[in-house]
Amino acid sequence: TDEVYGSLGATGFFTETTPLDPRSPYSASKTSADLIVRAYSETYKLPATITRCSNNYGPYHFPEKLIPLIIKNILEGKPLPVYGDGSNVRDWLYVEDHCKAIEAVVRKGRPGEVYNVGGHNEKQNIEIVRLTIATIRRLMEEVPAYRTVLKTDLSNVSEGLITYVQDRLGHDKRYAIDPTKMKEELDWYPETTFEAGIVKTIRWYLENQTWVEEVTSGEYQTYYERMYSNR
């Protein structure tokens, strides 16, 4: 994860030589995992590589994360929680592109190396929410069959659902990854723009609501309510 590098300013990108600088216990735990892998590789000569990716999105993403949570709440007519003022920036990587990157590292990566995997799709959180609202509304107008999964009136699919909530502790302002090393050494580069990927993602969720219902029931539902009941 790019969280191991800490927070960026308004410009620049994380590279593989950026010092590790986690800013929260959560990101520190991920940094520890990287260091353990590196230590085992050095001590026992294991042929290990480390990848650090930006935010993933796409099919089968569990609905406690931003994009699937927003999709789920829109369909149910529930408030759309946005931390702080929504200006935090993340680099988004379509999951299929990430899978191809991992395959490239496994097949051609040099042992002991770190590879940054980014999507070159920087977006503010509030941009993500607004684009998701607009895309769902457009798809439902274009494909009336999608309205069967809508649990509210189509007129409620609007920015009126946006609800700003207290920012979370240790919420880094901006992450952005430079994937140049992946391109130059492994001939990999992200293929999917965010605008194309979000449409594919939303279509998948609209067409796979049975899966969503299954993962938001039982023990998962208890966890979800405990984590997000106040958001």
CA–CA dist 128, 183 (Å, integer)? 27
How far apart, in whole angstroms, are the C-alpha atoms of residue 91 and residue 121? Answer: 5
Show the CA angle centred on residue 224, arms to residues 222 and 229, nearest 5°.
100
Catalytic residue among 5, 26, 42, 122: 26
State how far the Cα of 152 lies from the Cα of 196, in Å rounded to an integer.
26
Q: Which of 2, 91, 122, 172 is catalytic?
A: 2
- Check: CB of residue 54 under 8 Å from CB of residue 91: yes
Q: How far is the C-alpha of 52 from the C-alpha of 72, rounded, in Å?
A: 28
Pair type for strands 114-117 and 50-53: parallel
CA distance 5 to 31: 9
Q: Is 3 a catalytic residue?
A: yes
What's the length of the chain?
Answer: 231
State yes or no: is 97 an active-site residue.
no
Which residues are 57's β-sheet partners? 94
Q: 3-class SS at 165?
A: strand
Active site residue 2: yes
Catalytic residues: 2-3, 26
